[in-house]
């Protein structure tokens, strides 16, 4: 029998890795933008943003590979919350006002939605093992 929960978890993890790779590319673009600016607070903040996006992308990739791949509860919540918070801000502050074109601007949000849907399907359909009832005799 095919383990669809495991396959769905792995596909969700792959899309979190894709999201991370898109954001490594975005961090590089911000680094280049920062290099074109005069030294000062604006340049420093652009560099800081590039760093934050890079570190978030690396974290999401590692959590995707090490935790979401195995359908981990902790990994599910960390990547779901982290990527959701980051991409909502990007959509609201960059895409909606039109500061970036829809394509390739929506690469990350599309990967986010696919990863979130697949990992949620895997998370909610997995078998859960509970503790024995208080009245049951525990072996051992």
Q: Residues 87-96: pLDDT tens digits?
A: 999 999 999 9
Model confidence over 104-137: pLDDT tens digits? 999 999 999 999 999 999 999 876 544 444 454 5
Summarize pLDDT for 4-45 with one digit per residue, the tens. 888 999 999 999 999 999 999 999 999 999 999 999 999 999
**What mean pLDDT do residues 75-92 have?**
96
What's the pLDDT score for residue 129?
A: 44
pLDDT at 131: 42
88, two tokens: 């909502």
pLDDT of residue 136: 47
């Amino acid at each position: 029998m095919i383990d669809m929960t495991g396959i769905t978890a792995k596909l969700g993890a792959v899309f979190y890795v894709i999201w991370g790779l898109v954001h490594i590319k975005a961090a590089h673009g911000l680094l280049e933008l920062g290099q074109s600016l005069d030294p000062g607070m604006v340049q420093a903040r652009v560099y800081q943003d590039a760093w934050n996006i890079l570190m978030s992308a690396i974290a999401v990739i590692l959590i995707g590979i090490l935790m979401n791949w195995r359908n981990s509860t902790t990994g599910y919540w960390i990547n779901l919350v982290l990527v959701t918070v980051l991409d909502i801000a990007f959509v609201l502050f960059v895409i909606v006002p039109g500061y970036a074109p829809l394509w390739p601007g929506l690469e990350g949000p599309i990967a986010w939605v696919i990863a979130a849907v697949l990992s949620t399907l895997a998370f909610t359909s997995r078998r859960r093992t509970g503790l024995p009832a208080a009245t049951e005799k525990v072996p051992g």
